[in-house]
Amino acid sequence: MISKGGSEALLRALMNAAQTAQPDYSVLLPLLRLLAKIGQRDKEFGLKVQKLEAIDVTLSLARKNLTHHLNLVHCLWVLRVYASSVSAGTMLGINGAMELLFKVITPYTKKHTRTVRAAIEALAALLKSKSNSRRADNRGYLCELLRLYQDWHRWDTSNKYIHIRRGLLLCLKRITNIQSARETFLSARGMEILFTTTQDCLDSKSLDPIVTAVAQILRKCYPKRPLPVATVHSSYSFSLPGNVNAEPPRAEPEDDYEDDGEKEVEKDLDNEDLEHKEEDEDLETDVNKLCSKPGLDRPEEDLEQYKAMCPELSFTFQVGQYCTHLRVIPNTAFMEQQPCRHRDQSAMRAVSGKRAFKIPLQNWVKKGKQIGTPAFEKQAMGESVHDADALDEREDPGKSHAPPLHPLLQDASWDTRMSHSDSMSCFSPIHVEAGGVSDVVTKLLERHHQDIPFHSPHCYLARAGSTKSIPDYRVLAFSDFWGHQPPAYNQSMLERKNGVQRAKVLEDVRRLIQPGDLIDRVVFDLDERSTDALDCLRFFSQFESGNLRKAIQVRKQEYDLIMNADVNSIQHHQWFYFEVSAMKPAVPYRFNIINCEKVNSQFNYGMQPVMYSVKEALQGKPHWIRVGYDICYYKNHYRRSAAAAGGERGKSYYTLTFTITFPHGEDVCYLAYHYPYTYSALMSHLDILEEMRNPNKVYYRQATLCQTLGGNPCPLLTITAMPESKSRDDLEQFCNRPYAVLMARVHPGESNASWVMKGTMEFLVSSDPIAELLRKCFIFKIIPMLNPDGVINGNHRCSLSGDDLNRQWLAPNSQLHPTIYHIKGLLYYLCNIGRVPLVFCDYHGHSQKKNVFLYGCSIKETLWQAGSTINTAVVTEDVGYRTLPKILDKVAPAFVMNSCSFLVEKSRESTARVVVWREIGVLRSYTMENTYCGCKSYAYLLFSCRGLQIGTRELEEMGAKFCLGLLILQLKSLPCSKNLMAQAAGLLDLEEEMTDRWAQRSE
């Protein structure tokens, strides 16, 4: 009917019928009803109404019938539909529609409620237009609406008129989209009125819509404030080499902030459409850019240095050098230097007792630098390559540059914990005054069994001694030191209670309206000397990857927490990791992290933060577990300066709130965004891996890719199978294996990527027959942590230069982005000698999505998606990039093919994935995105893991399954020896795979 001109015909009929001297209402009323119905469906109704000049006619019809309620209500229905088009609504406003409606709805009356309701709904529709809202505010209607709402609230005791009350709230919600109306609202005590009236509504389910609407209005009108920190700049700064100015854009003075919330409100409405449109516009459609390979970004002769990073290719490997390279059994002197090489604890005790850590903890901070730790570091300073076999250097104690550390927690708080808690017998053996640190550790380990695979506290301690941080950390988080083992059980996603968010918002608003119980005192501040507040939780975060900046006790059991910005930056808050102690048993504590930046979070969809309890660990449960309830994530009233919001004005921060009842009183607990994995954890893990592998079978070399800006070596591993024999054939096979380059943790907040990498590395050096076979198929080059400094200093996104390193691949600066510069150099080198890697994969974490998936690169898929007119038939493209994700979809339960994408976006042109694909020519160049939350894949349901949160076990499994995927890929897509094939077939159930191998090729 609409497409056949029905709306126009009805409108014309209305004009004719209404404009006669004595309108015939028996015709008009059905006509009005029909128009109201049709108009709702007709997207262009507003336009048609204006074109046919029906607005005035309808308005005057309504005016004529002000006392005739049946006729009036029909007119109001139609007016409401007119007003659903903003331009028609504006016209109505100019022609006095709001005045008319106010005559109908004021003063409060319970007569003719059907008409009142229709008028309120028409008014709400009119207030969608900004100019109407402005007009209404100027005429004082906002205060009238508030009064009217109070009247209805007071007299509607039996909740018969919820729709009218809700309509009034909708009017208030729309009108307060403009700044001046929000000011009127505040001065008219709107916050108090709505907050107070709502208190009577909280217990009734039928009043849910009212409470929700009120919470929305209160949240929007809450006076905006700057974040309660002296400056949004990171507490830590780092002066960059050369004359580079690392100053981020200065945060502007807060008063220049013009908030007109409307833009954001409108955006909120049709976010999804907008996103899709933006996504498509972001696609690269320049075929030249997609297809051509740019030249080197550096002189070719510079690539020679990377030869040393590939000793597996060097000619000298063959005969004479063969044996020396295999010297892996440490001599006695070596063992003394390296407690962590030795898993036997009595040996370790002897070693560590002899040397370092003899000073009482209290003296550490001052005397720290003089106390020697074993020169454990691989002395790679200034060298780009260092082979793991160069033992001599390590034996030289003069080369030690490792600062000492407290092995456990902060000295002061440790003291308190001990003296305060007789009940805490698990801590009593550790008296910090009595012995050296090694004694503390030794006694702890004696009393409390600790045997976590691939982790050793001694080894961690030794490694942490040489980790360099900007704040010069002297304390280890117990959780990192003692180690984490996943609990035997799985944890399901948290079911979100109805109304959590609005309950939290109302609690926040109560600060403003009933400030009686507010404490509002700073109990922890990185920028100032710690306060000695009593009767509150204690916070601490000055340890590796920790990043709490400030804690404010808001109410007795509620704390606002502010995370530190990335070093040399004023933004990037998402990751958090801190220690909390002095808790009381069975008391719920509410924590609010108030400076989050992302618009949404998996915390709204079942994800919980993780916690580690020292008491639990010492009782044999060294687990990071998911904890917290009443979790939600929402926009708060702290405004971001334009600079801190990437140039956009009027943006707010977001709050992540969660409540925890700690498992023990007087415990020391750690809370984090996700399972932490520090740089020291990586370094000690690598030591253990090297020690545990079978040197006869596994070729394993740890070199240093380069030093980071912060002076930490960035490790580069080479893993493959030892040659079967010294025969020429076997050596040739050894050298000619294709390369697979894997890396992780360019983004420090993505600790999940490290756990996946841990799974990959452990699998690769294992004695699993599949791993053995895989090692024969590939030479693995692994950079497990591309941004050590970011990880160490608690950054979320950037390196010390304040740059996102995964946006620097097009032209990495050798000074500012050394790890990217050198890994790109190594890839160039491989490309230059004709050894383009078969697979490249960069492990990441995805904060918004569930499951695990890959991003790859395809010219054709990008052009198709962008709707490009280019004839893609002339573009030749190998579809081999799809094989690995298809395999992973089958073998890895967490992996989902449907979530994969192979589009090349302009905004990603400087990421590892796109640059390695385009410049190095790696067809299978991927970003692996790992969820922080959990999985919803079909496979997961089959494995009865419905709705479970992901743990480190699953992440590590993903890393191992990725390896399996690589083996199948190799067997499927490349010619390999019959021998290998037969072995593989025995190991894997490959029948199905083999049959579609041929189908695959013809694709």
Catalytic residues: 929
Candidate segments 491-499, 514-522, 555-563, 740-748, binder of Zn ion by CB under 5 A: 740-748
* Residue 908 in the binding site for Zn ion (CB under 5 A): no
**Coil, strand, or helix at residue 910?**
coil
Task: Name which of 404 and 794 has its Cβ closer to Zn ion.
Answer: 794
Burial class from Cβ neighbours inside 10 Å (0-12, 13-18, 19+) for residue 904 reads buried
Provide DSSP, 562-623: EEPPPTT-S------EEEEE-PPTT-EEEEEEEEE-SS--GGGTT---EEEEHHHHHTT---
Q: Are 325 and 311 in contact (CB under 8 A)?
A: yes
CA 784, 790, 793, 794 dihedral sign is negative
Q: How far is the CB of 480 from Zn ion (least distance, A)?
A: 22
Task: Name which of 757 and 984 has its Cβ closer to Zn ion.
Answer: 757
Q: Are 467 and 679 in contact (CB under 8 A)?
A: yes
Task: Name which of 439 and 750 has its Cβ closer to Zn ion.
Answer: 750
Q: How far is the CB of 748 from Zn ion (least distance, A)?
A: 9
Q: What is the dihedral of CA 120, 122, 127, 132, to 10 degrees?
A: -110
Task: Name which of 135 and 747 has its Cβ closer to Zn ion.
Answer: 747
Instruction: For residue 415, give the amino acid letter.
Output: D
Instruction: For residue 408, give the amino acid letter.
Output: L
- Segment 173-212, which members bind Zn ion (CB under 5 A)? none
Q: How many CB atoms lie within 10 A of CB 985?
A: 14
Candidate segments 466-474, 483-491, 743-751, 964-972, binder of Zn ion by CB under 5 A: 743-751
**Coil, strand, or helix at residue 186?**
helix
Provide DSSP, 762-773: HHHTS--HHHHH
# binding residues, Zn ion (CB under 5 A):
3
Task: Name which of 651 and 844 has its Cβ closer to Zn ion.
Answer: 844
**Coil, strand, or helix at residue 740?**
strand
Q: Are 551 and 523 in contact (CB under 8 A)?
A: yes
> Position of tokens 């990043």?
547
Q: How far is the CB of 911 from Zn ion (least distance, A)?
A: 9
> Position of tokens 């009233």?
637
> Position of tokens 């049959």?
995
Q: How far is the CB of 791 from Zn ion (least distance, A)?
A: 13
Buried-exposed string 455-465: b where 16+ CB fall within 10 A, e elsewhere: bbbbbbbbbbb
Quote the CA–CA distance of 869 and 793 in Å, as a whole number: 48
Quote the CA–CA distance of 323 and 320 in Å, as a whole number: 7
Binds Zn ion (CB under 5 A): choice among 386, 458, 747, 776: 747
> What does DSSP assign to residue 59?
H
Q: How far is the CB of 750 from Zn ion (least distance, A)?
A: 5
Q: How far is the CB of 755 from Zn ion (least distance, A)?
A: 14
Task: Name which of 737 and 747 has its Cβ closer to Zn ion.
Answer: 747
- Segment 749-808, which members bind Zn ion (CB under 5 A)? 750
Candidate segments 512-520, 748-756, 963-971, 991-999, binder of Zn ion by CB under 5 A: 748-756
Q: How far is the CB of 479 from Zn ion (least distance, A)?
A: 23
* Residue 844 in the binding site for Zn ion (CB under 5 A): yes
Region label for 572, one of left (φ > 0), alpha (ψ between -120 and 50) or beta (otherwise): left
**Three-state SS string across 216-283, please?**
HHHHHHCCCEECCCCCCCCCCCCCCCCCCCCCCCCCCCHHHCCCCCHHHHHHHHCHHHHHHHHHHHCE
Quote the CA–CA distance of 99 and 214 in Å, as a whole number: 25
Candidate segments 94-102, 411-419, 807-815, 838-846, binder of Zn ion by CB under 5 A: 838-846
Please choose, from the candidates 825, 854, 824, the residue with its C-alpha nearest in 3D space to the C-alpha of residue 842: 854
> What does DSSP assign to residue 449?
-
Task: Name which of 750 and 803 has its Cβ closer to Zn ion.
Answer: 750
Quote the CA–CA distance of 734 and 697 in Å, as a whole number: 12
The kind and range of the H/E element at 153 are helix 141-155
Task: Name which of 282 and 877 has its Cβ closer to Zn ion.
Answer: 282
Q: How far is the CB of 747 from Zn ion (least distance, A)?
A: 4
Task: Name which of 637 and 846 has its Cβ closer to Zn ion.
Answer: 846
Buried-exposed string 745-779: b where 16+ CB fall within 10 A, e elsewhere: bbbbbbbbbbbbbbbbbbbbbbebebbbbbbbbbb
Task: Name which of 828 and 855 has its Cβ closer to Zn ion.
Answer: 855
Instruction: For residue 710, give the amino acid letter.
Output: G
Q: Which residues bind Zn ion (CB under 5 A)?
A: 747, 750, 844
